[in-house]
Amino acid sequence: MQNAHHMALEAKHAVLEEKISAESHRPQPDSAMLAALKKQKLRVKEEMTIL
């Protein structure tokens, strides 16, 4: 069960990384959106380290 949860977190982390990259490469990136995505990514990473 823990392994499945960890894999789901890794997938979510990768999706967030893609969204951050896409937003960063826009002509006028939304700084509020980037900040929110980075916070979400950090929370996911922290949860992965706890497991």
Q: What's the average pLDDT block by block, 10 residues per block, for the chain (51 residues)?
A: 88 98 96 98 94 77
Provide the domain count of the chain. 1
pLDDT, position 1: 61
pTM reported for the whole predicted model: 0.87
Question: Which structural domain, as residue segments, surrounds residue 31?
Answer: 2-50
What distances in angstroms separate CA 41 from CA 3, 12, 27, 30, 47, one per listed residue? 19, 8, 22, 16, 10
pLDDT, position 50: 86
